[in-house]
Structure 1
C-alpha cells in the first residue's frame, strides 16, 4: 500500500536527519529505523519505514530495504547509504544526505517564492482587464454606437476586444486550459522534452538560471558521492540522473563516456560547453590538488549564490515592470473611453 506513496522532500530530510542522529548514538540500524517509524505521525510514511525495517531484520542492508521504494529513495540516496554502510560511516553520510535534501528543498522554495508574486500580478491583471472589457466597457460604449460618431482607433480596438471577450470568453478559457494540458502531455515524450530543454537553455536570462541550477546540482551531488567513496564514473552517472534538464543530463552522460576513455573530469565537462568556466577551473584545481570533493562543493556554493543574486535582481526589475505594464493597459482602456466623450463634449460646445 505504501509503495505508491511519495513523501514530501521535507519529510525525507527529517527522517534522514533522525536516522543519522540515532545511528550516531550507536543505536543499531534496525532499532534506529524502528524509533523513527514510531515517532512518525503520518500513517503511510510510518508503514513505509516499517517495511524498510522488515528488510533490515531479514538480513538485508538499509540500502537494500530502501530499494523497495525507488520513487522515494532515488539512486543517489541509495548509493550514498550503500557507500556509508560499506565504509562504516553511515551516520556521517546520512547527515550529508540530510543537508543535501534540505538544500534542494531550500532551492525549490526560493524558485516557488520567486514565481508567486509575478503570478499573482499576472492573474490580477488578467482579471481586471477581463472585468473591464466584459462588463464595464460594453455599457459605456453602447452610447457611442448609438451616436454613430467616428470613433478613435483606440476606442475601435477596445470595442473589438470587448466584443471578443463577451462572445468567446468560455472558448478562450477552454483553449488556454486545453493548451496547458496538451503541452504537459507533449513534454512527457522524451524527444519533445529534450527539444524543449535545449531551447530553454538558449533563452536569455532563463537559460542562464536553468544552466546554473542544474550544474550546481551536478557539482554538489558528485561532491557528496565522491566524499562517500563512490567511484567517479559511477558518481557522474548518478549525478546526471538527478538533473531536471534533459539536454544537460545527456551532456553529462556523454562526459562520463569520455572520462571512462581516460579524459579528465574538467576536460570531459568542458566539451559539453554547458558548464560555467569558473566551475571548470575549480574542478581542474581540485583534480590537480587531490581535493576534488571540496572544489566541487565550493563550485556548487558559488553557483547557488549566483542564482540567489540573479533571482533577487530579476524580481526587483520584474515587479515594477509588471505593475507599469498593468497601468499602461488600464490607462489605454480608460483613454479609449474618454476620447470619444471629450470629442462629443467638444462638438456640442461644452
Structure 2
C-alpha cells in the first residue's frame, strides 16, 4: 500500500500504481479503477468496490454459516462411531471380540479405535488435497458435474448468477465497455460453468448482439434475470437495474444455501439413523445368540454331557 501511495504522489495514475503490485490486489481490480478514471467517476467506483468486496465477504459468511451445522453433525457422528468402537471393549474387557464389536466391522478396543482414527485422518487428508487441486483448476469435472445435477445444480447456480450480476453492475458503472464488462462478469462468477462462457459472450457483444440475448444464449440464467437486463438496456439504466436485481438474488442465495444445508443435515441424519439401526440389529443378534447358547447349556446340562 505504501508503494501505491508513493507512486500516486509522484504523479502515476491509481490504476497504474495498482497494476505494478502484481497479484497483491484482487483480479480485475485495476481494470475497474482504470474504467473509473476514464469515466471521471473514480470516487464512485472506489465506493462501489468497497460495497462489492463487503458483499463478497457476506456471501462467504452465508456459505460458511450454512455448512457449519452439517459439519458439526458430521464431527459428532464420527466421534460417536469412535466411542462405539472403543467403549464396549473397555467396559467388558473379558468379553469375546464378537460381542464387543457393535458395528460388525471388526474394530474394537484401543487397537480398533487407533485404526479408525487413522482412516478418518487419511480421509481428511485426501479431501483437503482434492479441495486444493480443485481450487488450482484440477478435477474441474467435479464442479461441472455438481452444477448439472437437477436440484443441487440449480441452487448452486444462483450463487454464481448473483456474483455475475453484482460484477456486471459494478463494471458498467465503472465505465468499462460492455464487451469487457461481460467478460469480467463471467470470469468473476466463480464457477467453471460460467467462466467457460466468457470469451464467446464477449465476442457476441463485439459483433453487436444485445446483452440480454447473449445471456439467454448462455443458458445459465433465470428468465427473470434476462428480463431485468433487457429492461435495463431499454431504459438506459442498466447498472442501477442490475443493482436492484442483485439484492433480490442475494435473498435467493440465502434461501438456496438454507435448502442445501437442510439437505446436507438430512443426509447426515439418515447415515446416523442407518448406523443406529445396524447397531440395534447387531445387539439384538448378539442377545439372541446368547439366549441360544444358554438354552443349549440348559438342555445339555441334565444329560451329564
TM-score by length of 1: 0.73
Distance 1:85 1:235 in 2: 15
The one of 80, 87, 98 aligned to 2:32: 80
Corresponding residue for 2:44? Answer: 92
User: Is the Cα contact below 8 Å between 1:133 and 1:162 reproduced in 2?
Assistant: yes
Moved >4 Å (runs of 4+): 137-142, 163-167, 345-350
Distance 1:173 1:262 in 2: 55
Secondary structure of 1:187 counterpart:
helix
Distance 2:269 2:117 in 1: 27
The one of 120, 123, 140 aligned to 1:176: 123
Secondary structure of 2:200 counterpart:
helix
| Equivalences for residues 293-312 of structure 1 within 5 A | 293-312=239-258
The one of 266, 272, 276 aligned to 2:218: 272
TM-superposed deviation, 1:220: 1.2
- Which region of structure 1 is more displaced relative to structure 2, 255-264 or 137-146? 137-146
- Which region of structure 1 is more displaced relative to structure 2, 155-164 or 293-302? 155-164
TM-superposed deviation, 1:308: 0.9
For residues 303-337 of structure 1, the C-alpha deviation after alignment (integer angstroms, 9 at most, x for no partner) is 22111122234434554664464355235324422
The one of 320, 327, 333 aligned to 2:279: 333
TM-superposed deviation, 1:181: 4.5
TM-superposed deviation, 1:195: 2.0
Distance 1:131 1:116 in 2: 23
User: Is the Cα contact below 8 Å between 1:134 and 1:166 reproduced in 2?
Assistant: yes
1:55 aligns with 2:7: yes
TM-superposed deviation, 1:241: 2.8
Distance 1:247 1:317 in 2: 23
TM-score by length of 2: 0.82
TM-superposed deviation, 1:59: 1.1
Alpha-carbon distance change, 287 to 168 in structure 1, aligned in 2, over 3 angstroms: same
Distance 1:142 1:253 in 2: 70
Distance 1:271 1:144 in 2: 67
The one of 120, 125, 148 aligned to 2:77: 125
Corresponding residue for 1:288? Answer: 234
Q: How many residues are aligned here? A: 294
Gap runs ≥5 in structure 2: 299-305
Distance 1:103 1:181 in 2: 27
Query: CA RMSD for the aligned pairs?
Result: 3.1
| Equivalences for residues 97-108 of structure 1 within 5 A | 97-108=49-60
Distance 2:231 2:49 in 1: 25
User: Is the Cα contact below 8 Å between 1:144 and 1:340 reproduced in 2?
Assistant: no
1:219 aligns with 2:165: yes
Alpha-carbon distance change, 87 to 290 in structure 1, aligned in 2, over 3 angstroms: closer
TM-superposed deviation, 1:277: 1.5
- Which region of structure 1 is more displaced relative to structure 2, 74-83 or 312-321? 312-321
The one of 195, 201, 223 aligned to 2:141: 195
Secondary structure of 1:294 counterpart:
helix
- Which region of structure 1 is more displaced relative to structure 2, 106-115 or 276-285? 276-285
1:236 aligns with 2:182: yes
